[in-house]
Structure 1
Amino acid sequence: MPKVVFNNPFFFNNVRKNIDKVLKTKIKETTGGKVFYKKSCTFLEKKLKAKKVVITNSCTAALEVAALLINVKSGDEIIMPSYTFVSTANAFVLRGGKPVFVDIRNDNLNINENLIEKSITKKTKAIIAVHYAGVPCEMDKIIKIGKKYNLFIIEDAAQAIFSKYKDKFCGTLGDIGCLSFHETKNITSCEGGAIILNKKKFFKKASIICNKGTDREYFNKSLRKYYSWRGLGSSYIPSEITCAILYSQLLNYKKIFNERKKIWYKYYLALKKINSKLIENKKLYSKDVSINYHMYFIICKDFRVRTKILNVLNKIGIISTFHYIPLHMSKIGSMYFKKKLNVTEELSKKIIRLPLWIGMNQNKVIEKLKKILNN
């Protein structure tokens, strides 16, 4: 019997058509004046009701741009959850920043907003809100803290495109938002990302940063006779082929959303019927939020149970996995942070992520999981 892989990106027919258009053009510009790059930016600005969106090579690149935009310097402290991908920390460490890790909530694995304030010092520069599994953080409280202490609020919305917090899209609530279009994400361009600029003061600086530190964008718009080196930056703008793939996916975002929602709820209802003491199966979000059905995970009774379930699933060809090793427990992370984070450490040992992709054989996964849990 064929394997049920953990992830399998779904592409629509117009992807090939868009790529062919790019390949047939005589001038294959890579940093400006591009059809699909501009269309993708405009689409996201309109859909998200965002002031400005810049498509980047990756969410990692978007986070690095964010660190440059807020001018992170040596010794600046950046508050963030430890339960996140390494790019959340790396982007700021590269600029000399120090990650200050805060424990997560027991229900949705997002940063515990009630623990943030006691981690703030005179060196604190920003708070990073990571919307884990596409479930929005408690942004009202986080934004209130940011205003009280004059801190930047950056949303790592890598997993949360089109998720909403109180009718506003993730990535548009703080000062800056970062999205991912990696192959594992709902909307994918194979590799890619975007930075959402919610303050006009960031627009010009972001353009310089993303264009290798030059004012080339203004040169391309005939607003300059030449372009030159104006500040720090790098090659953060993706190719037009990447944007051609992205735009075709964006046009089909409703289909993607609806299909993932069906799969998500089928897991939820099926596992709810099992009612096993070996796992927790919760909705994990409140009435104030709407999610994008990015991920379906279960929380096992303990590490031993998780290990046994994962071993059996993978042995029978259902590729499931755990998630992050908490950053504060890593070799590098422990150099910056020495405290324990009890909830983070406990839940990271219990989580299992189940396959979730359009076209998968979900019945097989549910049947086998039922059998494992009942036995």
Structure 2
Amino acid sequence: MAAATRSLLKNRKALFTKKVFHAQIALTVRQDKVPILSGDGPYNAQARKWLEDHFKAPLVVLTPSCTAALEMSMLLMEVKPGDEVIVPSFTFSSTATAVVLVGATPVFVDCDPQTLNIDPEKIKHAITPKTKGIIVMHYAGISCNMMRINQITQAQNLFVVEDAAQCIGALYNNHQIGTQSAAAAFSFHQTKNISCGEGGCLVVNDPQLLERAQIIRDKGTNRQQFFQGQVDKYTWMDVGSSYLMSDLQADYLLGQLKKLNIITKKRRSVWQAYHDGVQELEEQKLLQRMHVPDGAYINGHIYYFLMPTPALAETAIRKLQEKGIKATGHYVPLHNSPAGKKYGRVSGEIKHASDCASRLVRLPINPEMTNEEVSLIIQTTKDLIIILS
């Protein structure tokens, strides 16, 4: 089995991020059919329209990255120095950096050990008179408990922004993730299910934020009103930055968006094979599988399991990589990071984020994996974990 695994995976390395290349994109570029390379060209318009229809949102703006979308959301929510924004400790740095860049303080709280998403009850206890709002992050394309989170925040008149970087194609109670808040940020980075290399978008759900969102994204000007013939000149109106995606990237993105259902179906198939494949190991208490709550429809972005100890997780990752399987861990909880200690503060005890992060093992997943590859990865993983036990 080991020899077969090495032979099959030697060149492919069971990559996390093998993208589906849309042939029409190459043809479009070769024939020089992208008339505008900067933002706000025809492919931007088509991709935005596709996303607005997908999310049933009044406005979607394409951005250079999900990080940029999160930064834009903090300007949109008028977060200022002296404010606090509650964030999960178990998340990517961009979630907290967006808060710090506007001079506010990220307040780190613990996760739910079942889903690794932010614990709503920890949010409740972290609220102070300085709290302006919450950024939640939906890990692995599995939604946070938005019903409970919205109950808490609405009672306190706090905003909610969703870091939905991993969530394109995932649902929560039959709603697209990213539609249960004022705004939501998505990623189209190389590592995501849908990619244009670098890119993202901000889904704006609150109608009261639409006009200002257009101003912030375009250097703080009312240039969009100028383009629409509403003013004869455009001028500086508010704070903002250049949060535009180039039309060449939008062309690439549009080709992938049109394949979202196909890509999601393939990734879900790999995810389910992994989940079924390691069930026996969970029954033997050799690992803990991902937990998918009722109402969650996964998009197959990540498959992970938790080993019993950090040492076993580190060994499993190293041994799988030696066999050509690119297994990895994931985030170092932000409250333990140098920048987290410098710029943020902790609310309550954070034990689950640290514990789960230290025991987490991710298996590679992409839509072009063959059944043979998936089967070999499952068998190799099972054999290794049994040996380690």
Instruction: Give the TM-score, by structure 1 length.
Output: 0.96
In structure 1, the residue matched to 2:375 is 363
RMSD: 1.4
Q: Is the 8 A contact 1:41 1:54 kept in 2?
A: yes
In structure 2, the residue matched to 1:10 is 20
Q: Does 1:30 align with 2:38?
A: yes
**Aligned counterpart in structure 2 of residue 176 of structure 1, from 183, 196, 210:** 183
Whole-Å Cα distance in 2 between the matches of residues 324 and 243 of structure 1? 29
Instruction: Give the TM-score, by structure 2 length.
Output: 0.92
Q: Is the 8 A contact 2:37 2:248 kept in 1?
A: no
Alignment of 1:57-96 (within 5 A): 57-96=64-103
Whole-Å Cα distance in 1 between the matches of residues 321 and 154 of structure 2? 47
In structure 1, the residue matched to 2:148 is 141
Q: Does 1:352 align with 2:361?
A: yes
Whole-Å Cα distance in 1 between the matches of residues 326 and 284 of structure 2? 21
Whole-Å Cα distance in 1 between the matches of residues 77 and 23 of structure 2? 40
Q: Does 1:209 align with 2:221?
A: no
Q: Which amino acid in 1 is paired with 2:45?
A: K
Q: Which amino acid in 2 is paired with 1:207?
A: Q
- Give SS of 2:275's match: helix
Q: Does 1:290 align with 2:300?
A: no
In structure 2, the residue matched to 1:41 is 48
Q: Is the 8 A contact 1:180 1:193 kept in 2?
A: yes
Alignment of 1:50-199 (within 5 A): 50-199=57-206
In structure 2, the residue matched to 1:258 is 265
Deviations 1:61-100 (A, max 9, x none): 1001100001111010001101000000001110011011
Q: Is the 8 A contact 2:15 2:365 kept in 1?
A: no
Range that drifts further, 317-326 or 356-365: 356-365
Q: Is the 8 A contact 1:6 1:318 kept in 2?
A: no
Whole-Å Cα distance in 2 between the matches of residues 58 and 260 of structure 1? 22
Q: Which amino acid in 2 is paired with 1:7?
A: T
Whole-Å Cα distance in 2 between the matches of residues 50 and 174 of structure 1? 11
Whole-Å Cα distance in 1 between the matches of residues 235 and 58 of structure 2? 26
Q: Is the 8 A contact 1:60 1:87 kept in 2?
A: yes
Structure 1's unaligned 5+ residue stretches are: none
Q: Does 1:337 align with 2:345?
A: yes
Whole-Å Cα distance in 1 between the matches of residues 301 and 29 of structure 2? 26
- Give SS of 1:277's match: coil
- Give SS of 1:116's match: helix
Whole-Å Cα distance in 2 between the matches of residues 244 and 372 of structure 1? 43
Deviations 1:136-193 (A, max 9, x none): 0000110111110000011111011121111211111011111111111111111111
Per the alignment, do residues 215 and 161 of structure 1 end up closer, same or farther by CA in structure 2, a change over 3 Å counting?
A: same
State the identity as a percent. Answer: 35
1:20 positional shift: 4.0
Q: Is the 8 A contact 1:215 1:228 kept in 2?
A: yes
How many residues align? The count is: 371
- Give SS of 2:21's match: coil
Q: Which amino acid in 1 is paired with 2:27?
A: K
1:29 positional shift: 4.9
Q: Which amino acid in 2 is paired with 1:367?
A: Q
